[in-house]
Amino acid sequence: MSETMNWESIPLRDLFTFERGKEKNMATLKEGDLPLVSARNVNNGVKGFVDSPAKVFSGGNVITLNNDGDGGAGLAYYQSCDFALDTHVTALIPQDNATPESLLYMSASISKQHDIFGHGRSISLPRAKRLQNMLPVDESGKPNYHFMTNYVIKQRKMMLGKYKQYVISNIKKLGEKVDIPSIQEKKWESFLIAEIFDILPGKRLVAADSTPGNRPFIGALDNSNGIARFVNDMNASLDQNVLGVNYDGNGMVIGFYHPYECIFSDSVKRFHLKYHEDNAFVLLFMKVAILQQKSKFGYLYKFNAERMANTRIMLPVNDGGEPDYEYMEQYAKNLMLTKYKQYLAFLDTKEKL
């Protein structure tokens, strides 16, 4: 930031017009291609994709502000394209000719205040209009859109460079793609999870009893690789290079691979391979194989340790009828190589913008 830059606290009502979302009954919406923005704390607020909503916000270049939600109240997201909005979110439509970059800047600035909101203190329309946004201003005291735009462009260029170096480094580590039989050509057999894995428990850690730190604490989530928070605590569930699988919660049956040292909630089981070294690529393949069983379980039929052990998963096998770990590893490597190269091509297009 420039040391000579002037800053002012500006009410949102001076910058935007406000329009509350229209979608009340999500169950009546048909699946489609239009993003539906809800009061979420992940995925830019997108809850799903729908067809023929009550209201379409056309053209994008709008900020959406979560009015309430579990961990999402007060978060703001920039929307770049057409979208629909549910009733728990307000669209902030810029009064001035703001660039996408300046709106990205402002959405991040607004989101810094989200900690003061929650289920007990939602954002009503009057409260939203009174919200202040600390912004750089020009000599006339108006928002300095030029500064905000240039700042975001500079940050984007820097981050794109980091992403590109990361991808290039991982492509080198993976090596060349190896020709292997397709999934359809392989022979598959079913195995009990207990035949493949040792299943170990997590350990209960109440948020109020934990201390902030740098160690990932893994909860039964369906996002963020299962990381619920970062703590300074240590207990018997300390592990790494392991597959964590949720037995309840929103992420039931979903698993995440954890190469780093972390501790686990009692709602997550730790999976270690019995007869093969814990290999990142094999565990990632297994994660997907286990996930195929998700439809069998729910809140009244949890994926507990006994059911985990007795659940069958389909795996590719070798000529001896044993799980083909070498095939699983190479398949995952090939898939990651393909995805990394696609992402690298995508980054190249962004650098040219």
pLDDT per position as a tens digit, 103-162: 999 999 999 988 887 666 788 888 888 999 999 999 999 999 999 999 999 999 999 999
Using alpha carbons, select from 190, 266, 191 the residue that is nearest to residue 228.
266
Task: Find the range with the poorest average confidence among 61-75, 259-273, 303-317.
Answer: 61-75
- Output the CATH code of domain 6-148: 3.90.220.20
Q: Would you say the CATH fold of 188-336 matches that of 6-148? A: yes
Going from N- to C-terminal start, the domains of the chain cover 6-148, 188-336
User: Tokens at residue 142, please?
Assistant: 């108006």
Task: For residues 309 and 199, give the distance between their C-alpha atoms in angstroms, rounded to a whole number.
Answer: 8
Residue 70's pLDDT is: 66
DSSP 61: -
pTM of the model: 0.80
Q: Using H for helix, E for strand and C for coil, what is the string for 223-235?
A: CHHHEEEEECCCC
pLDDT grade, residue 54 (50/70/90)? confident
In degrees rounded to 5, what are phi and psi of residue 303? -85, 65
Residue 290 has pLDDT above 60, yes or no: yes
Mean pLDDT over the full length of the chain: 93
CATH architecture of the domain 188-336 equals Alpha-Beta Complex (3.90)
Task: Find the range with the poorest average confidence among 67-71, 98-102, 111-115, 248-252.
Answer: 67-71
Bridge partners (DSSP) listed for residue 239? 262
What amino acid is encoded at 108 in this protein? A
Residue the block writes with tokens 């006339």: 140
Residue 1 has pLDDT above 50, yes or no: no
